Amino acid sequence: MKKTMGLLAAAGLSVMVSAGAVSADLNEEMQERLKPVGEVCMSGDDCAAAPVAAAPAEPRSGVEVYEAHCQTCHATGAAGAPKYGNAGDWGPRIAKGIETLYTHAWSGFNAMPAKGLCMSCSEDEVHKAVDHMVEGSK
């Protein structure tokens, strides 16, 4: 009986050791599956030194800004935007004065978002884009 108990105890210990090893492997696999997808990087951390897109060396022309940002809405008239080249759309707006058009383009107006969503545009570049659209729509 003692021999049987000893064998059972040895077998039980062996199973426990094996289960512990399996459990550790499962725990590692579970930790790998549950780890965060990304990391938060705060200002001052080493990871915060990511390269920043350089600003254009020279100001963009009105045509460049229009083609990159404005034409999405102004070529189609989306959300009520005056179509480029359409004097009927632009006439009443031009009548309000260029400063009003500049203010609306810079700050946003009705469905038009501020700067036409060109967050990298300077005020001068936005003005040039407005000038381009006005000149092309007279």
What local confidence, expressed as pLDDT, does residue 124 receive? 97
- Mean pLDDT check: name the lowest of 10-14, 72-76, 111-115, 120-124: 10-14
Distance CA 118, CA 134 (A): 18
What local confidence, expressed as pLDDT, does residue 138 receive? 86
pLDDT in tens, 22-63: 677 888 888 888 888 777 777 777 776 656 556 667 899 999
The reported pTM is: 0.61
**pLDDT level of residue 115 (50, 70, 90 thresholds):** very high
Burial of residue 75 (CB within 10 Å: 0-12, 13-18, 19+) is: middle
- Residue bearing tokens 């006439």: 91
pLDDT in tens, 60-97: 999 999 999 999 999 999 999 999 999 999 999 999 99
Distance CA 90, CA 110 (A): 15
Sorted by where each starts, the structural domains of the chain and their CATH numbers stand as 70-135 (1.10.760.10)
Helices 123-135, 87-95: axis angle to 10 degrees equals 130
What local confidence, expressed as pLDDT, does residue 4 receive? 54
Q: What does each C-alpha distance from 129 to 19, 29, 69, 84, 118 come to in angstroms?
A: 70, 55, 9, 11, 11
Q: Is the pLDDT of residue 13 over 90?
A: no
What local confidence, expressed as pLDDT, does residue 32 receive? 84
Which residues fall within 8 angstroms of residue 87, CB to CB, at 6 or more apart? Answer: 137, 138
CA 47 from centroid of its chain's CA atoms? 19
